[in-house]
Amino acid sequence: DQQVKQNSPSLSVQEGRISILNCDYTNSMFDYFLWYKKYPAEGPTFLISISSIKDKNEDGRFTVFLNKSAKHLSLHIVPSQPGDSAVYFCAASARNSGTASKLTFGTGTRLQVTL
């Protein structure tokens, strides 16, 4: 049972345009969400996170939006740059359930930013 879903395995965006990566979750106990970026042959690196008490968090070119009622979050990258080409993983945690340390990951979306 995939509790965190990234339904788009890949996305291609032109340099300078907006990249929107989507993530859906089913477990209502999740209260903290994170995005990780992964280059080939490297481990995932933390990008940005959001708590369930917020609906938006922004860090430079990266903004994460959370819609709790729809159990949906999205990562916006504006403007997209070629160096953003990587696999992006959405992850969720249930911090108040005593299993805060367990991150549940989606299957990833491969973003390709073209010139």
> Residue from 21, 93, 111, 113 that binds other proteins (CB under 8 A)?
93
Q: Token digits for 97? A: 């359930």
Binding string to other proteins for residues 22 to 61, with x set by CB under 8 A, is what? ----------x-x-x----xxxxxx--x------------
CB of 100 to other proteins, least distance (A): 5
Comparison of 10 and 45: residue with beta carbon closer to other proteins: 45
Beta strands of 15-53 (E only): which ranges? 19-25, 32-38, 45-51
Comparison of 61 and 95: residue with beta carbon closer to other proteins: 95
115: CB partners within 8 A, 6+ apart: 14, 15, 82
CA atoms within 13 A on the CB side of 68: 12
State the Cα–Cα distance between residues 104 and 115, nearest whole angstrom: 33
- Binding residues for other proteins (CB under 8 A): 32, 34, 36, 41-46, 49, 89, 91, 93, 95, 99-108
